[in-house]
Structure formats: C-alpha cells, structure tokens
Amino acid sequence: MEEENLSECPICLQPLLYPVKLPCNHRFCFLCIKGIRGPTQTNQTTKTCAMCRQPFSIELLEQNLEMNLDSKNKVFKWFYEGKTSGYWAFDERSNLELENAFHDKKDKIVISIAGFSYCIDFVRLIQYPINHPERVRKIKRCEELNTENGDFKIKGIAGLRVSERTTTTQPSSTSSSSSNTNDDNEASGTGLTDQELSQVFSESLQLK
Amino acid sequence: MAALPRRIIKETQRLMQEPVPGISAVPDESNARYFHVIVTGPEDSPFEGGLFKLELFLPEDYPMSAPKVRFITKIYHPNIDRLGRICLDILKDKWSPALQIRTVLLSIQALLSAPNPDDPLANDVAELWKVNEAEAIRNAKEWTQRYAMEDN
C-alpha cells in the first residue's frame, strides 16, 4: 500500500493548500473540504469529514485554517543559496511542499524538482541533491514582506532570473544550458529592486 | 470535456505503479474517465476462479460524487441486478471524496465474499439466498463457470 503522506490532501492528492484541520484532526485543503457535498441537498451547513464521517459545521472551516491569513497576510517563502551569491526563491509548488512539511515539524523531506530529487534538511537548513550529498546549499525561510527589504539578494525564482523577464529578445539562459532547475547560471548576480520583487510576489502569491 | 483533474491523473498513475492484487483497472484509450476493470472472484466464495468484467466511469464532479460502476459479466449475487448494477452504500449515500478507484474496487471484491441478502437489489436471488443458501451458492458457482471463465 502507498504510505500515508500527511502533507497531501486526501481529496485532491496534492500538497495541502490553505490547510484546514477539522475537530477530528483530519486535514484537507480549504477548498477541497468546502466543496464536499453535505449529507442532504437541503442541509448544507453540516458536512461530514471525508476520512472518518464525523459531522462538522462549515462555519468552523475558516476558523480552523492552519495558516495565518490575517490582515497582515503573513506568507512565508523559502529560498536556496545561489552557487556564487544571492538566493533563489523556490517555485510556488515546491514552496507549498516545504511550508507544509515545515508545519508538520519534519526533520527532512525529499522533493522532486524537474525530475531530480533533493533532500531538504530543516534541522541544518540546507538542501542537496540526494545523488550528490556533497553539493550542499543553504536554505532560508522568510516572511514575504520582510524579503522586500531583506538583507540578502534574491535573484529570481528557481533559476529564472527576474531581471531577464523584461528583455524578451534575449535568449533565456535557463532554457538551454541545463535541465536542472536548481542550477545556477551566474551572470551579473544583481539583486532585485523592490519593484521587481513585488512583481515576482504578486505573480506567484495571489492570496484572497 | 474539461481538462483532466490532477487527482484523476495521479490516481491512474498509482493504479499502474502499484496495482491491487486481483484487480485490474485500465483507462480507455479515448476516454481517461472510463476504466475497463477486471476483478477476480475471491477465494472461498462461489465466485472463486471467475474473472468479472466491470466498467467504471468517473463523472464530471468526481471525486465530489461517486464513480459509476457496473458489472458487465453476468453474476448471480443478491446485491447485483441483471443489468450489473451494484447495491453498495459507498457508491451512493456513503460516498466520500477520500475514497478512490482502488478502494471502491476492493469494496466490490469484498461484496463478492460477503453477499448481503437483507439489502437486496436482485430480489429473486436474495430470496433464494435467504431460504435456501446452499442452492443459491450452487447457482452462483454455476454462473461463475458459465459466464466468468477466461475463455468466455
């Protein structure tokens, strides 16, 4: 049998997105559990847990969000060290996996990025390809708002240099040189302006 | 038809990678929501040795609603009618979106091991199962031999 994966939603089988914990301790994506049908067509305010059938009130759902979606919109992003300087943001999907594993208090997880398996070590705050444990890079977790004024340079997302996005005629260095998204093609190594950063984040993080 | 949800893609991949013993479910070449299913009759049941064909269809709102499953192979069972329709609570009001193709087919296989004549769909079969279980089981074995053998 497949192993039980605590950071996977049992309804969509994806990493939990806006996780909700029901009174019975089962966890689902907010939208997945919100979408399940109630026991009758007329009474849709009470539903039953998809795992154990314990009834719950849908009014509880928003209160039981595990994430902090308060007015400050505290959203955390994960970054990994560039080869020679600065940091890359993880892509949005990997970020979600990391964030969920972090909340599950895991010591380490293995994630797959473009077919390569990377070990993310939350204790030592490093990552490395599982086939090349010597290729260690540091990782960081930062509140999104802080990264804009952060004390470290953010180069882009997963090897996609944000500053190159505006110059569409220039062939992308990420497309041909390597199939490994975590590869770091060092060019100028410039940091991002606040404006570029907010562009990155508004594209990747559109929270309601 | 809308794009195939990632859940269906993932379930299909896992079914192929880790098949359930005694059960095969293969998506149709032209419709990824339609599965050709074969369930082997459980040991120590009147259906032992039989290969039962079923069709399984994932409706538009799957997994929020249950898959539609039907026996194609004729079977003598109190909870399966002559059209192959199955009386099983998890396919109706007890459906949960955390159930999967895999768990549904395992439940159907379990239903073959444990017929429930008190909740019948095929009334004549259920009646005989209650008044003369030995004869009902004989009929079920005979139908298995006649309709559910590989060379049929």
- The pLDDT tens digits of the residues spanning B20-59 come to 999 999 999 999 999 999 999 999 999 999 999 999 999 9
C-alpha span between A98 and A94 (Å, rounded): 6
Nearest-5° angle of CA B112, CA B114, CA B115? 75
Domain residue limits at B71: 6-148
Q: Tell whether A58 lies on the interface with B, counting CB pairs under 8 A.
A: no
Number of compact structural domains in chain B: 1
pTM over 0.80: no
Helix (H/G/I), strand (E/B), else coil: A204: helix
Among the options B56, B58, B87, B122, which is catalytic? B87
**B1 falls within a domain:** no
CB of B150 within 8 Å of a chain A CB? The answer is no
In a domain, B12, yes or no: yes
For chain A, the residue count is 208
The answer to the question of residue B39 being in a domain is: yes
Residue B105 lies in a domain: yes
Query: Distance from CA of residue A119 to its chain's centroid?
Result: 15
Q: Report how many Cβ contacts below 8 Å link chain A to chain B.
A: 33
State the pLDDT at residue A176.
39
> Does B95 fall in a domain?
yes
Of A19-33, A69-83, A191-205, B130-144, the range with the lowest mean pLDDT is A191-205
Please check whether residue B59 lies inside any domain of the structure.
yes
Determine, yes or no, domain membership for B87. yes
- The CATH number linked to B66 is 3.10.110.10
Mean pLDDT, residues A133-155 = 77
pLDDT-derived band at B2, boundaries 50, 70, 90: low
For this structure, is B11 an active site residue?
A: no
ipTM: 0.85
- The arithmetic mean of pLDDT across residues A161-187, rounded, is 44
